[in-house]
Each structure stands twice: as C-alpha cells, then as structure tokens.
Chains A and B, each alone.
Chain A
Amino acid sequence: MSAQPFRLASGGLIDRSQALSFRFDGKSYGGHAGDTLASALLANGVRLVGRSFKYHRPRGILSAGPEEPNALVELRSGARREPNTRATVAELFDGLEAVSQNRWPSLAFDLLSLNGLFSPALVAGFYYKTFMWPASFWEKLYEPLIRRAAGLGRAAGAEDPDHYEKAFAFCDLLVIGGGPAGLAAALAAGRTGARVILCDEDFRLGGRLLAEKREIDGRPVAEWLAAALAELESLPDVRLMPRTTVFGLYDHGTYGAVERVSDHLPQPQPHQPRQRAWRIQAKRAILAAGALERPIVFPGNDTPGVMLAGAARTYANRYGVLPGRETVLFTAGDDGWATARDIAAAGGKVAAIVDARADADPARKALADRLGARLFAGGVVERARGGRQLDQVTIRDASGATHALACDLLAVSNGWNPTLHLTSHQNGKPVWDEEIHCFVPGTLPAGLAVAGSAAGRFTLATALEDGARLAREALGDLGLSVAAAGPVPAADDEPCGLKPLWRVTGGKGPVFPGKAFVDFQNDVTDADVELAAREGFRPVEHLKRYTTLGMATDQGKTSNLSGLAIMAEQTGRTIPQAGTTTFRPPYTPVAIGALGGHHRGKAFRPVRLAPTHGWSSEQGAVFVETGQWLRAQYYPKPGETDWLATVNREVLAVRETVGICDVSTLGKIDIQGADAAAFLERVYINGWKALPVGKARYGLMLREDGFVMDDGTTSRLGEHHFLMTTTTANAGKVMQHLEFCHQVLWPDLDVGMVSVSEQWAQVTVAGPKARKTLRGVVDPEHDLSNEAFPYLAARAVTVGGGIPARLFRISFSGELAYELAVPAGYGDAMMRALMQAGAPFGITPYGTEALGVLRIEKGHVAGNELSGQTTARDLGLGKMMSSKKDYVGRLMANRAALNEPERPSFVGFKPVDRRERLRAGAHFIGVGKAATMANDEGYMTSVAHSPHLNHWIGLGLIRGGSARIGEQVRAYDPVRGGDILVEICSPVFLDPEGARLHG
C-alpha cells in the first residue's frame, strides 16, 4: 500500500484512525473510513479512472456526487460485480475492489481510443447515414462490432448472491435531502411531534454543510450539524435515513426510495439485505435536494484534472484531499471563488483565477491578491491539455491575448442547477428563472414543496429559512400544531452573483480544434449540438434523441442545460424558447434487484397448496404448477419410470375400481338470499329456478360479449342457498364477476355471496367402487343408495362420527363418482380415511394428468376449450342457452357472426394409424390441401392417451364440426414435425349412454 500523497495532514470528516485498503485496476491503495472511492483515488494521486463511451478518451473525476458522468467503475468482483458504479458516491470499505471499464487492454493504453482518429466521421447520428449496404451485413457485421464497442461496464452475469427487501413507511412529512434546508425542515416538524422521515442519498447527513466552511447560529457548521443531528435522533417520531435515495415520485404522495443497507460493507451481514426498496406514503413532502454544479464547454474540458469547483472544495474540506497542487479556477460566478479560498487554505497553490465576468470587483481582486493568484477578469480558459492528466491550460484574457499556464487542477464553476428532478416526475415542467439563470421547479405535484437550493434559493440563510417555513406550512395544512417548531436557524448570506458562460469558442488549436464536451459520458460535443441544429433536430427532444445528449447513466445532470444553451445560441432563441430540461424517474439509477425484493426463485410468487398436499408428498406425488397452486400431477409407484405408465394405471383404476383426487382448488362460492335463484338465472345461460333443493346442475356462464367465461356445477343446498363451483383458474375472476353483477348491475336483488374456496377440502371419489368406499367414511345414518342419493344429488352429510360434510354426486370422469367436502382442516384426515376405506378395493390416488385423461375420454370441456375465444355453440353447448330469460352475454352471443356454421366447433379426433401420437395445438388441414392459412380449418385443443382404447384421442374445434364425423383430415404440426391423418369422431370416447354414471 502506497502513501496517500494528496491527503492533507489534517481536517476533513474522514476517520484517520481507520485505515482502509482497496484495489483499483489491480493496484493497492490506502484510504480512510469516510472516504468515497473517488476521494481515496484522488488522495492517492490517481486521476485517470475511466474511458469515455464513444471515443474512449481518458477521463477523470468531475464531481463529488451523484451527477458524476466520468468516474464510473466496475465495483466488486465475481457475482457481485456492479458495473457503471459512480466512484464519487461509492463508500470506501476495507478490501474494496474496483476496475476501470470500457477500455482494452488497459486504462492507460486503450486501443479503442483509435476511435478518436475516426472521430471526424463519428459525429452525432452518423450511423443513421451509413451501414445500409448490403442489408444483411447489418446483423452480421456492422451491428456486432457496434454492440461490442458500445456499452460501458460488464454486468456480473451470475446470479446475484445478495438479498433484497421491500418495506413500507407512512409519515406526515417526508424530507428529501439532509442538507441545511432539509435539516431545518426536519427540526421544525420533528419538534412538533409530527411523524417525519428524512432521507438522504449520502452516507452522512449534512449535504453541502459537509463541504463548506460556514457558520450557523454563530457556530461553525460542524458543531451546529452535530447538535442538530443529536436533537433529531432524540425525537421519537423522526426517522433519519441516510444512504437512502428517494428516486421517484408517484401518484397520491407515494415516494419510491432505495436504502443501501450494506453497500458500504464488503458483503451484507447475515440476515441483512444488500438494499431495501421503500414505498413511502407521505401526507406532505419537502424536496430539499440541493443543487448540482454546471461545467463549462471548452476544448479539452474532459481532461482528467478538470473538475467542478464545488467538488474540488468538497474533496479539500470534507475528505481532506488536495485535489491539485497547482490550481487554476475558471468561474462564471461568485461561488467558484470559495473553492480558490478553501484550496489555498488547505495548502494548495492557486495559480490563476479566470473569472469570465468582465467587471473587476475590488473585493475579488483583493482576495486573488491575498491568495497569490493571477486574476484574469473577463478571461476564459480556451483549452485544457494533457491527455491522461491535465498539465496546461490556455487562458485568453479580456484583451484576447492568450497565456499558457501549467497546472494539474482546473476547477470550473458555472453556477448551479436546482436538483428539481422529483418535481418533473409527474410531468411538471421546470420554468426558467432569468434572475438566477437556471430552471426552477414549475407546477408542483400535490403535497410537495421545494426548499433551498432545489428551489433556486441558493444561499445558506435562505435554505434554512425555507426549510423551517415550509415544514410549518405543511404541518399547518395537515391541521397539526406548529407551536413547538422552534426558532429558525440563522446564517449570513454569501455572495452568489453569476453570469453564466455556456461555452468557449474561438480558440486557435493545431490541425483540429480540440473537442469540447457537452455530455461527457455519451461523448456529445458542442459540434454535435451544432450539427443537430443544422439538420433540423431542434426541439429539445430531437436534440437529445439525435445526439444522445443526456441519455447516459447520469441522465444529463451536468450536460442537459449546456446542450440546450448551445442549441438556443445556434437557433437565435433564448434558453426557455429552446426547450426545458425535464427528468424522468428514477433520480439516480436503481438496482433491479432492489425493486424485485425477495420475489425471485421459488419465492417469485406465493405457492398455494391443496389441503392434502402433505399426504400427497408422502405418496411421492409429482407436483405441477397450475396458476399459484401446486397440484399432484401423478403418483408414480416404485418401479414406474414412465409418467404415461403411471397415468394409465391411475385412469384404469378409476374405470375399474375406484380412484381419489383432490379437487379443492376449484373455486367455491356460497350464494344466499331470497333472490339467489333469480341471480343465477342472470349469470348462467341455463335455468336454475326449477332446480330442486338437494340437487346439483352443470352451469355455463358467458361474458357480456357472448363468449364463454366459465363453467362448473352449482348445487342448491336450500331454497335460498346455492353453492357454485368454478374452474380453478377462474375462481377469483368469477367471484369478482358475480359481485359486479350484484353490486353494479342488479343491486336490487336480495342476494349475497362469499368465496369459500379455502374453507372446504374437496375430493373426488370416482369409480365403480366409489359408493362402497364412501360408505366407510360417511356416517351410517346417511343413505347412499342409488335411490336415496341419485346422480346429481347434493346434500349435507356427516363423516367420521359427526363432522359436517357435503356430498355431491357429480362426475367429471363419467364414472359413478362423488365429491366429498369437509372443512379444510379435516382434509388430510378425510384423505387418509378414504384411502383406508377404499383399501379393500385397491383405491388409487390420481392426479391432474389422469383427471385430464378421464375428462377427455368423456368429451368434457375444460380450460383448453374455455379459451375465451369460444361460444357455447362452438362447444356443443348451445342447447343450454335459455331463450326464456335474459342473462349476461345473451344478446352478444346471438349475433349472426357468432352463429355462422363455418365457425369451428367441438368434436373428437383419433389417429387413423392408431399408433400415432396426437398433439394439442396442431391445426387441421383438409386432406390433399396445401398447408396455408386459407386452408386452416381449426385446431386440436386437448389430447390424451386413452388406456381404455389404447390409443391417443383428442378434442378440438374444426369447421363444420359434428357434421363431418367420420371424415379424415390432417393434424398439421410443423413446429413439432407432425403431420398425421386423423379421423373426426364424437368427442365422447367412452360410454356415450352414460351407463357408468348411474351405476
């Protein structure tokens, strides 16, 4: 570890007792707790930290904050590699590893900097004008080259090993920014007992106070800050959240924030997330996010060693780092002078002060003299040079004479832009303030006020006043007392005169004048902006999109306004005439992982388990995802290796003896009320009034547009009491639909409904031995004989000695079958009891696969047929449509187009060669006809292997439908290489008379 040659002997807010070691591009360096990677690199004299996007020019550190366009690194390594990380906000920790990016083979020697030689051709939008011939070369040649060269850092590529969390918070007042305005606001509000949250993106609260040598309430800022923070921490309803970036403002006072819980550590503590995404619900909010300093556009302004003046001051005052030994200040306003003063105070030499303003203020002259700096009032820096490290600037004085000065730091100041990003997240347009030469917040989102520099009120005193005043106003709006808000902190006003200078032209370069950068990261130069103006890309959005100005990871924080100013100058307009700069969320980039939270891997979505899941697991069931449910798909027995063998066995068991299957996932809706039957009449296409108590009926419901929505059996448990079942997939949708029908369409009907899907465990017991099996479980006083409990009977019974249950004699399989429902808590016990009762008959559990085979053999429609594109008539269920009543979907279903005979309708299919396998999704083409869209007659919806018939069977929709039974067509399946002959047949493959059902 080398020494830190640029570290000051004392001062700053770093902890000199904590030495940290880190590596950059493989080399070891030392720093201290409280450093950022950028401050530590500067302390070690490392100036060259990155390469630019297009020309691969050497780049250094421009800023000391989130606006950094140049100093982007790949932080950490392996699966934790974080590309494009701004070194200026990356907190230093012991063992930190970072490498520079977008260079090959090395940062100092980057072959792609050859792009610079071609730069005359690589102007804005050059790619739109070439690479067009021949057409196929784009994907093969040009684009791969561009893709490889473009991009910045490399993403990790491996699964992120860290965890993320989501959290929610609610408050009266959210304060965004922990600088003077924010602190004053939080203090005023916190003292009243209001619920306050203060967020700041920095790891240390204080904002600009951390970087300035000022006084508040007559005390040095550090002292005042410590007291303010101590007081805030003592207030029970104030929550301080450093390392938390409020990145977006959403509707109705919702703020998105990301807390960097562990980014300052080598890796997160066990049980701690890396980051936590917050949704903060704030009744009122104050944006006190400060301001961002603006650079000046001049040739060579991207040379490492050219730095924003405020940042240079931050490095000296906050981090105890001398940002340069020989400094030239280039400023357009008063604020830059503080940098000259503080750098000199820190022991740096200020060689010259170039103040673009012509007026020679005597106080400034005196200060320059005191600092021993040459003053060029009315001068400009027309060029910076040095390649990988600034070594010289050319100054043009007020008379036009040029002076070459050696220096290693050029501090640049062109005034500040309010950090008003959040105010434009809801389409608010900033407005230009001619007095202070910047955009200030325009129409504000409801509930948000803007304080201090973020509102363009730049002095320390106004920031403090603003914060305290706006906090009082916000609480007043909420009807909270502000009596205890306390005094407003006081400070002197500092000078903040400014005459902005957007760019310097007219310098005499050698062959090519040096490039002058507007957008550092995207390598957009002033010449590019001029070209855009020349070609008519003048609206600000055209300018941005054509030149890529402001589209880089810094979102143009340091570049948008310069670009706009140059466009205004080129087109003879004022800046506000040229356009406004708005910002889209997020304020700074947010990790995708943070917003994803813990929803990944198996935890992506909740898992719903059937009541008998534990039992099925014990049986070795294979499970399948059906929506959120995990259902038993089949139950392989030892020795069974082929799923089809297992399913065949399960199906045959149902056909020959008895099988059992959990169907609890079906939606169950309890419907009661004097008008319950009338209600069902309106939501189902078939009749319900005549259904006797104690009976079930199959029902079909349509959407209002006339297409089938869902089906299921509904049982009349009492005169005014029905139990509806829905498909698993549509359980929620049907419930919502029924509530709609009741509350919105027919509020006068006396009916109420509630979902009881989770309250009941329900199993199907199907097969010739179903009754005998049930007999062992249902209490003996309930007569289960065919006469007493016939097909479609539905009644309350008891099981296991008095446990309430419901028994339905309904069948999806075509066998003698029952569904038995018990309170969900008894589901597991019911399954075990039924297995025991059925053991003498060889009862066999079956899963969703066998369930599907059984229903396909019987030609029952299910999800594949209820595609939302089919009508009742398409499915052969047209006869159910009552003509005697109005119901949802009636009129639309009767439209002529929905009743044309050419509409594909429902039939069965079997392979002509019985050995062939059918596939759902195959389309039907007439024999001998070309495989074209015009000859497409329909498609196969469902297939199964019928162990009973010992061949594959299918259901599908085909033009002409049942009129074509016996005809052969091709089942055309080119995406799976299939093209086989199938025969159209009845969709009922087994027991068409229904003899088994009634057995």
Chain B
Amino acid sequence: MTAAIEMVDVVDEPKAIEGRSPFVLALRRLRKDKVAMISLAVIVLIVLMAIFAPVFAAITGHPPNEQYRDIGLTPDGLPRGPNGTFWLGTDDLGRDILVRIAYGARVSLLVGVIATAITVAIGVVLGLAAGFLGGVVDTVLARLIDVVLSVPFLLVAIALVSVTGPSLTVTVLVIGFFSWASVARIVRGQVLSLREREFVEAARSLGAGDRRIMFVDVLPNVLAPVIVYTTLLIPVVIVTQATLSFLGLGLPPPTADWGGMISASQNYYTTAWWFILFPGLALLITTLAFNLFGDGVRDAFDPRADRT
C-alpha cells in the first residue's frame, strides 16, 4: 500500500532534477574527502598565521628582526632554547623564532601563490595557442617547451639569481619562467583532441572567431587538469623558493623566510635543535598540507584515476 502511495506522490510532485556540472560534482566529492578537508583546514591556519604575523609580534613583544643579544643568547653567544620569553627559542642572532616563522609564512605563501598564478597563466595561454592554432605557432611553441623542459632548472635559476641579485620579484619571475612549460604541455595535449570535436565546429559555423572559441569554448574543457596541476604546483614552488633561500639566494637579510632560517641553522644543529626543527616543521607541514589537499583535488576531479 505504502509503495503505491509513494509512487503516486512521485508522479504528483516530480522532484526537480538539478543540473549538476562536473565541477559541482567534483567539489562534492572533495568535501567528502576527510584527509583533503583536514589539509585545507591546516592551509587556512597557515594563511591566518601569515596574515596575523604582526599579532604574534605584538603578543610576544618581539619584532621579527629585533636581535636580543642579551636575553636571546646564552653567555657563550649561542641560541637559547624554548622558554617562557621565547616560546620556540631564538636563532643565532637572538631573534624570536616563533615570530620569524609567522613572518616567513608570508614569503612562502606569497611566492607560492603568485609564482604559481604566473606559471599557470602563461602555460594555459601558450598551451591553448599551440594546441588550437597549430601550424607554425605550434611548431615554435613546442620547441620552446622542449627547450625549457631540458634546461637544468635549479642550476640556471641559481645562476640567474646570483647574476641579478636576490629579491622577491626575481624569485617569482625565475620560478614562473621555468615552470610554465609543463602546464603548456598538458593544455596543448588536451586542446589537440578537443579542437576536433563537434562543439568547436558548431561554434565556428555560428561565426565565432579563433579567440572566442579558444577562451570561451575550449578553455572550460581543460580547466579540470589545470586546477589539479595548480594545486600540486603550489607546494613545489614553495619548496623551490625555500631551496633558493637555503642556497643563499633567497630574500636579502634580515627578511624572515623559512629556507633562509634553515640554512642559518645548519651551523648550529648540534647545539640548537629548535633552530632547525621549528622552521623545518613549518615548511614540511605546509608542503604536506598542500600535497595532501592536491591529492584530494586530483581524486575529486578525475574519479577514474583512483577509485578503481
């Protein structure tokens, strides 16, 4: 009986069928992924730490670049371990490590986001152009991609930074300049098959020009792999920036940044474990959170890849 009534109900009030775009479906899958959501929460915390870095300085009363050579160093001139005044200890110049980690987050996140954005923007535009326009444009761009991918990135990056002198702009530009090629290659590959599809022909027969077809019709179809690649690129960029700093080519002192802090701690790792541990943890937690989140994004946007 009840079954019959229910059936009648369904006929009477048909449930509105929602159109769910693949994007919405992917977001739903992502929201159910516990590891990805925890990672996202960690990322948000790090972002908050970066934004409110001055609050850390205000609470502890220690500006990031202030050197406490009296209370911040032992009588032998060594860093002091974690204590009531300096919660995470001090560095070789008697500066507060906690405050410097908070300020260092700004550098890592800023470079991570800006360099990734530049990389993806260049990669998408050039990849679209190469794949869609074909011909000479494609030949030239494909060779250019080969060249950039064959260059030993870190070596040339170090050489470039040492020639121009280290600065935030140079770091961002160097990373962007050498990373766009992988994005371009992915986009080009996708576009090559997309441009033969009927909807492109349909758009063309309606009188749409190349630029419109590229950006309005084709681009949305390559967004999924681009989003996945972007989330996984951020931690790579953050590590690259830290690596440059570690090699002494980061931001000019006294700016606090994680790679530079770890580099400075090298000479003290036998005496001051906190000096390498806390900046190292900050860097590791950040990259791990981004990687785990990126992994979740990949699963969500490409359900076939991991749910077999």
Partners in one complex: no
Residues on A facing B (Cβ under 8 Å): none
Which residues of B are in contact with A by a Cβ distance under 8 Å? none
